[in-house]
């Protein structure tokens, strides 16, 4: 077995790690807009030579707003997916039912947290930052696919948020401490969600033929393509907001759009595709599935 996760132990870990929303971000708490919010490895704003340091920081903050808003949208799709997976076996393994219902409750809390962050951002940022949506339409498009494909996309996202915090956010002293604390608390609970989603994917893949798995990977790529189009649109919205905030048109907009789109592709897709835990699940499911996703990963780097 490539992992030792189980529902009882994961639930116990989740309950130990739980936090209250008001302890992380109060309803009227303000953000410190004198600081960067996002690490450079994810935002890729510090390398944009056509922007001065102040303008780079503005775009960095817009990228952080994008980061949490898009994860909020994704978690609105995860919530019904988890409930749908729990519902058919409510009279079965009690640890499984409790772990999945707790998973759903924590995702609802994260959605609330990200909305609260959005409200704080809106209060303090000088211009409106448009976000792709509506969330329910995005969720419906994701959830219409094969549950195995959906589960794999969610698993990829769960593991990549772990790497974002551990590899880029935790030790970055330049970031706003409030943003770091928010991501720390999110990381604690997502660590357990990644384990639970691994168990969900294992169950969804059980008994599948190679042909059925191949079809699910096709649909995984369909979802990825849909998300990628959204990221491209969001990059355009971000540059619109940047131009309003700094009071001028940026130089070579198309080049900046491509650069920021690629940064988002790495953040939301590429960094998950190459995560070792995600690759281990793919190998267990089907070596061919792992190979197909590994071949596609470089375009999202």
Average confidence (pLDDT) over 245-259: 97
Q: What pLDDT digit, counting tens, does each position of 36-76 carry?
A: 999 999 999 999 999 999 999 999 999 999 999 999 999 99
Contacts of 125 (CB under 8 A, 6+ apart): 33, 61, 62, 65, 245
* Nearest to 131, CA basis, from 148, 116, 118, 147: 118
Point out the least confidently predicted range of 22-31, 83-92, 185-194, 276-285.
Answer: 83-92
Q: Which CATH code is given to the segment(s) 49-300? A: 1.10.620
What distance, in Å, lies between the first and last C-alpha atoms of the chain?
30
Domain ranges of the chain: 49-300
CA distance 122 to 138: 22
Indicate whether 116 pLDDT > 80: yes
Average confidence (pLDDT) over 120-127: 97
User: What is the per-residue pLDDT for 20?
Assistant: 96
Mean pLDDT of the chain: 96
């Amino acid at each position: 077995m490539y992992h030792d996760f189980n529902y009882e132990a994961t639930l116990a870990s989740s309950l130990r790690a739980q936090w209250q929303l008001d302890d992380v971000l109060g309803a009227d708490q303000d953000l410190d807009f004198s600081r960067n919010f996002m690490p450079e490895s994810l935002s890729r704003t510090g390398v944009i030579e056509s922007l001065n340091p102040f303008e780079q920081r503005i775009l960095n903050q817009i990228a952080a707003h994008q980061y949490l808003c898009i994860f909020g949208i994704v978690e609105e799709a995860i919530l019904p997916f988890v409930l749908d997976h729990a519902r058919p076996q409510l009279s079965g393994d009690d640890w499984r039912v409790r772990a999945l219902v707790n998973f759903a409750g924590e995702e609802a809390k994260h959605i609330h947290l990200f909305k609260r962050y959005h409200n704080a951002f809106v209060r303090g940022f000088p211009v409106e930052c448009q976000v792709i949506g509506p969330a329910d339409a995005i969720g419906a498009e994701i959830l219409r696919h094969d549950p195995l494909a959906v589960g794999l996309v969610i698993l990829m996202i769960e593991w990549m948020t772990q790497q974002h915090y551990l590899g880029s956010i935790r030790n970055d002293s330049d970031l706003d401490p409030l943003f770091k604390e928010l991501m720390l608390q999110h990381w604690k609970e997502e660590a357990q969600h990644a384990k639970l989603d691994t168990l969900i994917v294992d169950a969804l893949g059980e008994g599948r033929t190679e042909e059925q798995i191949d079809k699910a990977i096709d649909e995984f790529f369909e979802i990825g393509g849909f998300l990628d189009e959204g990221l491209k649109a969001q990059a355009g919205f971000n540059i619109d907001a940047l131009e309003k905030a700094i009071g001028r048109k940026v130089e070579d907009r198309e080049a900046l759009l491509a650069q920021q789109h690629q940064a988002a592709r790495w953040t939301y897709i590429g960094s998950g595709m190459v995560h070792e835990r995600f690759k281990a699940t793919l190998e267990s499911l089907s070596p061919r599935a792992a190979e197909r996703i590994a071949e596609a990963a470089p375009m999202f780097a």
